[in-house]
Amino acid sequence: MFVSSALVLLVAACGSGDDNSAVTVAGQTTSDGSTTESSPTTEPTTAPTTAPPTAGPMEYTVLVDGRVDEFNGAFFAYFPDTITVHPGDTIIYKSVFSGEPHSVTFGSVVETAIAEFEKLTPEQLQSEGPPPPELEAAFAAIPAMLPEGPGDANQNSVNPCFVGEGEPVPTDVTSQCPVTEPSPFTGTETFYNSGFLPDGEIFRLEIAEDIAPGTYRALCTLHFTEMISEVTVVPADEPVLTPDEVAALAQEQLDEFADQMLPAVEGAKAAATPGNVLAGLGSEDVPQVLGVDFIPADSTATAGETVTWSIIGPHTVSFNPPESARTVLVKGEDDGYHLVEEALAPAGFEPPPPSEGEGEGPPPPVDGGTWDGTGFFSSGLMFGGDFTLAITTPGTYDYICLIHPEMQGTVTIE
Ligand SMILES: [Cu+2]
């Protein structure tokens, strides 16, 4: 989720411990050992299911996040999550922007951190205590996309950054890396980072001809171990899936997440009451998905009556936002991405001062007070807790979440 890196690490540690659902591409078996159904393709069923070894360099597409018809969601995953390729192939990582910024980030610092994460015992994954120092140090070596507190996006992570073997990762968060254009991926780089990928943007991962066969992993520098892409490189004479088969597998994985999430969405809609709006939705069945709808989308209240939004995930409740506030990251004249403070800060009311012991326990409620329905009014970025507001003038008011552009609702004051 869209939270500070330390928090993401903890969320990830809680959420990923029982993830046995990964599908092994190469073996075509699921983690419980059963054989998967063959992926639907446009090929006749009698055709070989793998590309002939002589097919030459192939281009595959991996989706970064996803979109489904049934509900608005943010998917903290790459689709498919694993892919097997040959040296010389290209993987096109394509951003399907849900509002949650993502990157595709390989490199030895990433491999080290994931290896430390995998050493965690089930007890440590459940624990709410601080992570082991080795794990903390390993993740601290990966520049995070966003700062842990206030401030701009980290320029060495939110923008493309490529650091060769044996070279240190630049630690200056205020300037872009010296190398922002990639060379073919050899698997030996220290840091190989796409930077933030806005909607529709692609990141071309050209696999070098001389890469060593093996498995390479990328993560997102905002969501860390919540979001891992696994690329296995095999020698040119070994069979791999065709691009169509990879695309079918991606769709299958996305559909599976959607199916797992749908009961929670439908349950929330059935339980919805007009004065209590659910802003975002999670499901224990599928921690990789965050529902990004206001439920119910349309609320009614009388003038001066308090409406409550229960925030789940990183959201804002924002009325009449100026165009400039409708994005969280914007490209500056320096060609780097920068955080848009206007989208994240409360507007139209005096927010409560940070309470003592903040960060412990559930987030405190935020009361927006009363609003007469004119001008920009926003809760500011909230990660949980309730936001309350009483609108005093009759009318119908549109509002949105400035993090998730598809998340929209109305309040009608009678
Ligand atoms: Cu991400």
For residues 315 and 320, what is the distance between their CA atoms, to the nearest angstrom? Answer: 16
Domain that holds residue 344: 297-351+363-413
Task: Give per-residue pLDDT as tens, 25-53.
Answer: 333 333 333 334 344 444 344 444 555 55
Task: Give per-residue pLDDT as tens, 234-267.
Answer: 999 999 999 999 999 999 999 999 999 999 999 9
Residues 6+ apart with CB under 8 A from 255: 68
Among 207, 228, 258, residue at a domain's last position? 258
- Structure confidence at residue 136 (pLDDT): 94
How remote is the CA of residue 287 from the centroid of ligand 1, in Å? 13
Whether 135 and 235 map to the same domain: the answer is: yes
Residues 6+ apart with CB under 8 A from 191: 105, 106, 107, 108, 109, 110, 142, 143, 161, 162, 163, 169
- Structure confidence at residue 7 (pLDDT): 34
> Which among 190, 191, 159, 162 is positioned nearest to 176, based on CA atoms?
159
ipTM of the complex: 0.81
- Structure confidence at residue 3 (pLDDT): 39
Whether 306 and 395 map to the same domain: the answer is: yes
Q: Is 106 part of a structural domain of the chain? A: yes
Whether 185 and 314 map to the same domain: the answer is: no
Q: Is 29 part of a structural domain of the chain? A: no
How remote is the CA of residue 15 from the centroid of ligand 1, in Å? 15
How remote is the CA of residue 370 from the centroid of ligand 1, in Å? 35
Whether 244 and 315 map to the same domain: the answer is: no
Whether 248 and 318 map to the same domain: the answer is: no
Q: How many independent structural domains does the chain possess? A: 2
How remote is the CA of residue 195 from the centroid of ligand 1, in Å? 11
The CATH number for 225's domain is 2.60.40.420
Q: Is 342 part of a structural domain of the chain? A: yes
Q: Is 381 part of a structural domain of the chain? A: yes
Q: Is 287 part of a structural domain of the chain? A: no
Whether 10 and 140 map to the same domain: the answer is: yes
- Structure confidence at residue 53 (pLDDT): 52
Q: Is 358 part of a structural domain of the chain? A: no
Query: Residue 303: how many CB atoms within 10 A of its CB?
Result: 14
How remote is the CA of residue 222 from the centroid of ligand 1, in Å? 5
- Structure confidence at residue 359 (pLDDT): 61
- Structure confidence at residue 21 (pLDDT): 34
How remote is the CA of residue 256 from the centroid of ligand 1, in Å? 20
- Structure confidence at residue 28 (pLDDT): 34
How remote is the CA of residue 148 from the centroid of ligand 1, in Å? 15
Q: Is 44 part of a structural domain of the chain? A: no
How remote is the CA of residue 224 from the centroid of ligand 1, in Å? 7
Whether 141 and 253 map to the same domain: the answer is: yes
Among 203, 238, 258, residue at a domain's last position? 258
- Structure confidence at residue 38 (pLDDT): 41
How remote is the CA of residue 77 from the centroid of ligand 1, in Å? 8
Whether 244 and 331 map to the same domain: the answer is: no
How remote is the CA of residue 149 from the centroid of ligand 1, in Å? 18
Report residues of the chain scoring pLDDT below 70. Answer: 1-55, 354-360
Whether 208 and 330 map to the same domain: the answer is: no
Whether 253 and 378 map to the same domain: the answer is: no
The CATH number for 315's domain is 2.60.40
